[in-house]
A and B are shown apart, each in its own frame.
Chain A
Amino acid sequence: MDRFEKIFFGISVVMLALFLCALFYASAAMHVHVQSSQEVISVKPGGNLAMAVLTTAPFNNPGVKQIGPHDYEVDIIAQAWTFYPSEIKLPAGANVEFKATSVDVTHGFLIPGTLINMMLIPGQVSITHYRFEHAGTYLLLCHEYCGRGHHTMFAKVEVQ
């Protein structure tokens, strides 16, 4: 093997090792998980999806719920072109579970600066977990194009 090839090979191995370590660290220590969705909204064929969502727990009562000393659940309904509720207040440092679904078309669910980035598929409940470490006002955006008012679809997350 050429000397340059050996050097190049060595650098590649080191980089690969570094990337793998970063990945494991992110997964184990920083609790980075990709979202998975098993829950669905069941509708009787030809029924009304919006009605089904609004009568299915937890979306019959959307909003912030405290479910433990440091645990919160936030249930959010996305509809063209708003999130409901459109203002969410959460304490800093709490474990938050976001559950969201759409009543009409496919929407997005993005909080810039965090790891929260989901697609909201009609008929499917999207779930993600996050802990806001810093207080401040976060923007919750729809980032999946959903029609004429797409750019007006956002909500505010107040972390105190």
Chain B
Amino acid sequence: MAAQPKPLPIETPNYLQGGGLIGWLTTVDHKRVAVLYALSAFVFMAIGGIEAMLIRIQLWSPENHFLTAGVYNQLFTMHGTTMIFLVVMPLEIGFFSNFVMPLQIGARDVAFPRLNAMSFWLALAGGIFLHLGWIWGGLPDAGWFGYANLTERYFSPGLNLDFWVVGLLILGVSTLASGLNFFVTIVAMRAKGMSYMRMPMFVWAVLITSILILIAFPPLTVGLVFLLLDRFFGTHFYVAAYGATPILWQHLFWLFGHPEVYIMALPAFGMISEILPVFSRKPLFGYPMMAYSIILIAFLSYGVWGHHMFATGMGPVADSAFAITSMLIAIPTGIKVFSWLATVWGGSLRMTTAFYFGLGFILEFTIGGLSGVMHATAPVDLQQTDSYFVVAHFHYVLFGGVMFAILGAIYYWWPKVTGRMLSERLGKLQFWLTVIGFNGTFFPMHFLGMWGMPRRIYTYGAGLGWTSLNQLETVSAFILGLAFLVMYYNLIKSTLSGEKASADPWDGRSLEWSIASPPPAYNFAHVPEVRGRDAYWVMKYGRAGSRGVAMFVAGQVPPVPESMQAPPTEPIHMPAPSIFPLFIALGLSIAGAGLVMGLWRLIILGGVTLFTSAVAMGFEYPSYGQEPHDLEEIAPSSGGIDLRKAGLWAFLGSECVFFASLIATYVVYKSRNVGGPGAGILEIPLTSVSTFALLMSSLAMVLALNAIQQNKKNMMRLWLAVTISLGLVFLGVEAYEFAHFYHQGLAMQTDLFGQSFFTLVGFHGFHVSVGVLWLATVWFASFSPKFDKSRALSVEMAGLYWHFVDIVWVIIFTLVYLMQQVKGA
């Protein structure tokens, strides 16, 4: 697998051809990965849809016993989890972002193609994990939000929630990797001339979504890790009987959960911003405001999680604060809605299916947005929390908004992906069925909610007056189901015998339409130079400027510029295929299965597979983007940022949030702790020594980097060895400390202090261990004769990580050890 990247032959087939099964399993081509994502998402979409149908059949009549209560609870849990994590996110981020974004910025692949493949295999593994309950122990049944403390082992003893926890953790890793990948791709790999303010709006959306992912997923990971520890190792993070509070889960979950709403919504906004201008033949109205409003939405989305928790009794001050921030989000969102309307206004419209869905999106999403403002108002929300009104609201946002955008995007980009057109006739049939079915299903829920029908109830009484609207909803849901059958039929028919698509069937305005449909593996034979917003319109019509071009030439589609489709004149380096992404996913899944089954041997087998694959992947050298000329060729606008370094910085940013969540938990739980040895057990003199050792190691690390930059290899090895030894001293003291505490009666299971202390300090220790392993790997690699000044970056990367871990320790030491003493004195 570690072959030299082979130059592609001049006559390259399109990306879908060749390779066979092995080719697909080892692919690192962003377009193939995108197609794999789409395939899995379409399967999961069918499963999630059938789950919704079964829910609606159960609610057809009062006191219905079509399903048992247990099965019903599993279905609504899996419907939510599936649609969010296995359908919407894979379609938006895995499929459309992956396929379209590199094409729109004029790149030949994403920044880390193997990481991208790994994201997909992990996403698939996570999806399968969540569904293992079909054959084994039942599906998860605590709701997609999994509110503590129902999820504790005592209340939910089955394997089903174990699958849920582990599956979501795996999906979290996958999503984080995608976010990091796309962030670096957009920052560092745009074609020449593609400045930020020339990027297509979809690329803007993906960029901001990636940042949201990097910051929003760590709190979920922390929440899930606590749950995992509670379920498997007897801690009490969410157990009220130990003074802990189940509200911790709600805070961590919604700190993730509300940005997650925008992780789903922003790409949808981006897609709509691509579709509407093309079919209106006008540039996007208010481009700068559209970009800034995305940024503003993302920023605000971190301050609004509390509006999911008005009913928990946070008090008037917190409720008011969250109410205000939540209402503020309506402002940038309103800007977007009006800008979309202004884009369409006065355009020369082409009523394609994609455009239908675009218009439908504006209407349905606005309805959902308005009921969202109602929820933001705390006193109003108190009549709506956990009622069917909420179900109506978020389906208007997530289906009327996000799903409409996805459906429009399918009709818009399908010709580029497969090289075949979808049937417009079937498309419009699907659109009208969708609109009727969707509104019929979800609009009556507003009324049911106001009449008192709560969410997530298995059945309801006959005398409550809820029956007729529920029956209307069920009938409409089947119409909606029929709409999706039409779509599946259309997709299959198009793939088998659809009309061949030209390179530019819509007179597109962004770069993906400048290349063949389906694109060749290398995307661009000649990396284009971008001369303005709406890059491809400018290329075709030759006129740039903020007023756009298309309105002057409505009705005529000029020929595709020859230069874009000419075969490449020189070999193009493309990343070599790799099997290790698949193995990494396999390893993590095996380890997860071992954890659920309680088999240590499986955990070790999975861990070894994971570790060896990761190391093997690291040494699969040279690979894409790591040779200087590759970088020049692929990332002309990188402005000197190395891809790997940019990736590491993004990762460290995400890690900050991870540790912040752990530290916040520690601070809260230390103050709630009763009994037990408490923080008085900590020994500052001993830990000061290890802290000193760790700080000195950072100095040694600086000297090591300095040495290799001056090509002094032996000096570098010496200072690396010093760094590693000091790291080991730190770990040794920590191990002694842990053992000592354990003998004095403080274990993770003892009390609130014990569990939050061991989790925080333990996770830091784990990071130090990874750092030591990393440095040791660099140390061994330095014995290769090829290792010289030119590889200084690999030392610098390890060093950056090492310094970060040290800084985190300074914070932990101050907060956990020193401040404890101040308080005691």
Chain A: residues with CB nearer than 8 A to chain B? 23, 26-27, 32-37, 41-49, 52, 80, 104-106, 108, 110, 112-113, 115, 117-119, 121-124, 126-127, 139, 141-151
Contact = CB atoms under 8 A, between A and B. Distances in A.
Given A37-B313, A143-B387, A151-B69, 9 more contacts: A27-B379, A32-B382, A34-B319, A34-B382, A119-B309, A127-B313, A145-B143, A145-B456, A148-B69
Contact of B147 (A32, A112, A145, A148): A145
B751 A147 contact: no
B316 interface: yes
B457 A104 contact: no
Contact of B245 (A47, A108, A123, A127): A123
- Output the residue of A117, A121, A145 with the most chain B CB within 10 A: A145
B147 A106 contact: yes
B69 A149 contact: yes
Contact of B314 (A36, A45, A106, A110): A36
Main secondary structure of the interface of B (DSSP, over half): loop
A116 to B, nearest CB: 8
A106 B452 contact: no
B150 A147 contact: yes
Contacts of A33: 316
A104 B155 contact: yes
Given A36-B316, A43-B243, A122-B240, A108 B379 contact: no
B316 A148 contact: no
Contact of A34 (B241, B247, B310): B310
Given A32-B379, A150-B458, A145 B150 contact: yes
A36 B313 contact: yes
Contacts of A148: 69-70, 73, 141
A112 B465 CA distance: 13
A151 B311 contact: no
Nearest to A147: B150
Interface of B: 69-70, 73, 141-143, 147-150, 155-156, 240-243, 245-247, 309-316, 319, 377-379, 382-387, 451-452, 454-460, 464, 674-676, 751-752
Contacts of B675: 44-45
B311 A117 contact: yes
Contacts of A115: 379, 382-383
Contacts of A35: 311, 313, 382
Contacts of A145: 73, 142-143, 147, 150, 455-456
Contact of B674 (A26, A45, A117, A123): A45
Nearest to A26: B379
Contacts of A49: 240-241
Q: Which 10 A/B pairs are nearest by Cβ-Cβ distance? A: A112-B452, A123-B240, A37-B313, A143-B454, A36-B315, A122-B240, A145-B456, A151-B458, A151-B457, A143-B386
A108 B383 contact: no
Contacts of B314: 36
Contacts of A139: 452, 464
Nearest to B147: A106
Nearest to A122: B240
A151 B65 CA distance: 13
Contacts of A117: 311, 382-386
A147 B456 contact: no
Contacts of B377: 23
Contacts of A32: 379, 382
A147 B155 contact: yes
B457 A150 contact: yes
A31 to B, nearest CB: 11
A43 to B, nearest CB: 5
Nearest to A112: B452
Among A34, A42, A123, the one with the most B-chain Cβ atoms within 10 Å of its Cβ is A34
